[in-house]
Chains A and B, each alone.
Chain A
Amino acid sequence: MTQDLNVIIVGGGRVGFQTTAILADRGHDITVVERDPEVCDAIADEYVATIIQGDATDPAILEQADVERADVIAGLTASTGVNLAVCLEAKEMNGGGIRTIARVERLGGEEYTRFVDDVVFPERAGARMAANEIVGGDVESISDVTETLDIMQVRVADGAPAAGKRLADVNFPTGTLVVSDDDGERIAGPETTLDPGKRYVVAVEPDVADEVMNLLRG
């Protein structure tokens, strides 16, 4: 009944540690499994999680993270193979009720979802953030969804081709969906106008993203 999840994070490196810190701040219970004693020390100093020191692919080590009681396991080491292995092991130990998340090292790691509940590709998430910062807030990726679809918030630029037009009058390429109207209160409809300076949530497929940018940003 409690909202606090029991989470096992495998790999306490940069990704694993940041994830641990965020989750711990939200009040979840975290157990980190990490091989490197020095990394273990660093996490222990932060006092955010229970730590098991050892190789998580070794069932005797993983067992100590109390897999039976965990709600979620996230394999966040740099090696996709290790991440998959620990997720599968945990699924087996837990009797299948555990949610599994594996970090993958390349785009298109989605085929792994046959074996785990979800995959994360931190480099891509980081890259999106970097791209957002580089563009300076006019175009911001909102979240990573399945595969490659990108949902972003775009500020319509003055003098852009679509600026001031109604949606019905703008011919967006196939693979585009303007989701919200200018104040983010309503779903956009044909009558929605693209006012310059206002922000709109737009979903685009990557191969038409440049065209959409041209229409909205000029």
Chain B
Amino acid sequence: MSSGSHGERKPEAELGLLDATMIGMGAMIGAGIFVLTGLATEIAGPAAIAVFALNGVVTAFTGLSYAELASAIPKSGGGYAFVREVFDDLSSFLMGWMLWFAYMIAGALYALGFAPNFLELLHVYGLAPAPGQVGAITLPVVEAAVPVSVGLAFTAVLLLVALNAASTAASGSVETIFTLVKVAILVVFVAFGALSPMFSTAEFQPLFPVDGSAFAIIPAMGLTFIAFEGYDLITTVTEEVKNPRENIPKAIFLSLAVTVVVYLAVVTVAVGTLGAQGLAEAGEAGIAQAATEFMPTGLPVIQNGGAIIVFGAVFSTLTALNAVVIASSRVAFSMGREGQLLPSIGQLHHRFGTPFVAILASAVVMLASVALPTKSAGNMSSLFFLLSFIVVNGAVIRLRRERPDMKRPYEMPYYPAPPVLGILLNLVLTSVLIWYLVQTDPLALVLSVGWILLGGLAYVGLNRYRSSGEASGSLADPGASETTAEPVPGEDD
């Protein structure tokens, strides 16, 4: 791998403000809304509306931190790259490790959300029985029954991994079109839903589930927190954005604001039409089911208007899955380049020009994770995003204190309140989420702890590997043809 002639194949800056905003919204509008609305309603009842609103507020503080860091540190590694600038090896390694996991599990979550919606789409056209009645495929080879939805999710991940491993990522403009289509479909959903007779008799009482209290909001916030992780995605492509100093902070805030508005409208309509009870029962396909209730039928070609929304759900989960396949491999790739994972993970494939090894490494975890229950995937992914974002807020504070003279083209207002609030609120959500996991989902908790421990092992192992490598003097020269002398690596390089 030469960092001499074309370094990291830096693409030309070509993304405008719209593109950058859409990249951020792409993942958020994707699965969060279609997959998690039903699940959140299950926990919090009609208060799911408040859940999304509050999450928007909580995440806005971290959004400010991201905007400031992205404007000051011109790197396309997402939150990991910023933390790497500020913290020592171990902290930044853990941050990257957690963020990587968060994205991979998000991938599994989106794949798991894709499957029931896909079945629903088939069901609308009478090609398959209702999602609840689809059984399992028996695999003669392993003599085990695999649920159809898991098989579908697995296949979806496999396809998108193959796509991204063999060709460089879709350009920003494609992403923009995808996102606009998704938003348009949701606008149709909201419009028809709000006008439907079902909505006029909407029932938002009791606001909280019968057996719960206002406190039920918090675990639901934890579960759905992942729905707002899009600004990290924006910062994975910052170097490709035109006039980044202005556009990146703008894109972060815009994507957050628009996402919150869209979420609130959609959740309100979904709860209002299908009712909290029905929505909770429909689970991952909640929005799709709500749509089939009130969308006009007997249309030409598509027959059932609900199919548009179901198609939207399928399309959204797939595109969001694509986005996190790219995002997770970028985090792993950055870590590999920084020498915090095996060097091969930080290298481009000679033929495909993609971070091939990074994608494969991410794929292994993603494929294994589709066996998880959707809720566990949502919880775990949210947990790790929460933890990562705490570190990012910490990075802002530390940079302000240690490097007061660093140029910050965007400075957040009311410092230090936003990052401090961001840390506190994320901590609250984290602790409640962990408490909730102890009660209801020990599997997710065990896996999460396991991943952290695995990270510790990887870190120690890698340090050993590195020191043995350096002892034998295998440090390559920086590849720049003009450099004649070998660089002397720093102690912690």
Report A's interface with B, CB cutoff 8 A.
Answer: 1-6, 24-29, 40, 44-45, 47-54, 61, 64, 66, 68-72, 94-95, 97-99, 117-118, 143
Contact = CB atoms under 8 A, between A and B. Distances in A.
A129 B74 CA distance: 31
A99 B470 CA distance: 18
Contacts, number: 109
Contact of B487 (A5, A48, A54, A66): A5
A71 B488 contact: yes
A26 to B, nearest CB: 4
Given A40-B407, A44-B407, A68-B490, 13 more contacts: A1-B343, A25-B7, A26-B5, A27-B8, A45-B243, A47-B239, A49-B74, A50-B406, A64-B404, A71-B487, A94-B490, A95-B491, A97-B490
A6 B490 contact: yes
A63 to B, nearest CB: 8
A177 B238 CA distance: 49
Given A26-B480, A47-B238, A4 B3 contact: yes
Nearest to B407: A51
| A-B interface, 5 closest residue pairs, ranked by CB to CB distance from nearest | A27-B7, A51-B407, A26-B7, A64-B403, A27-B8
Contacts of A69: 490, 492-493
A54 B405 CA distance: 7
A98 B74 contact: no
A44 to B, nearest CB: 5
A72 B482 CA distance: 15
A71 B489 contact: yes
A66 B73 CA distance: 13
B85 A2 contact: no
21 contacts: A1-B493, A3-B2, A4-B3, A6-B493, A25-B10, A26-B3, A26-B4, A26-B480, A28-B7, A40-B407, A44-B409, A47-B239, A47-B245, A51-B406, A51-B407, A53-B406, A64-B402, A64-B406, A69-B493, A72-B487, A94-B490
A141 to B, nearest CB: 13
B346 interface: yes
A5 B2 CA distance: 12
Nearest to A29: B75
A150 to B, nearest CB: 16
Contacts of A2: 337-339, 343, 346, 493
Contacts of A53: 405-407
Interface stretch (B252-260, B273-281, B471-479): B471-479
Contacts of B407: 40, 44, 50-53
A50 B489 contact: no
Contact of A1 (B4, B10, B339, B402): B339
| Most chain A CB within a 10 A radius of its CB, from B8, B469, B488 | B488
A50 B73 contact: yes
Contacts of A24: 74
Contacts of A49: 74
B478 A3 contact: yes
Contacts of B239: 47
Given A27-B8, A27-B10, A64-B403, A97 B74 contact: no
Contacts of B72: 50-51
A26 B73 CA distance: 17
Nearest to B243: A45
Nearest to A51: B407
Nearest to A43: B407
Contacts of A95: 491
Contacts of B491: 95, 97
A157 B492 CA distance: 54
A64 B404 CA distance: 8
A6 B338 CA distance: 10
B219 to A, nearest CB: 39
A57 to B, nearest CB: 13
Given A44-B407, A50-B74, A64-B406, A3 B490 contact: no
Contacts of B349: none
B142 interface: no
B249 interface: no
A90 to B, nearest CB: 11
Contacts of A72: 487
B184 interface: no
B212 to A, nearest CB: 47
Given A4-B337, A5-B487, A48 B74 contact: yes
A99 B10 contact: no
A191 B68 CA distance: 65
Interface in B1-50: 1-8, 10
A62 B94 CA distance: 28
B485 interface: yes
A70 B7 CA distance: 19
Given A52-B405, A98-B488, A3 B476 contact: yes
A118 B487 CA distance: 12
A51 to B, nearest CB: 4
A47 B74 contact: yes
A49 B75 CA distance: 8
Nearest to A24: B74
A45 B407 CA distance: 11
Listed residue (A4, A27, A28, A47) with the most chain B CB atoms within 10 angstroms of its CB: A47
Contacts of A66: 85, 403
Interface string B318-341: 000000000000000000011100
Contacts of A1: 339, 343, 466, 469-470, 475, 493
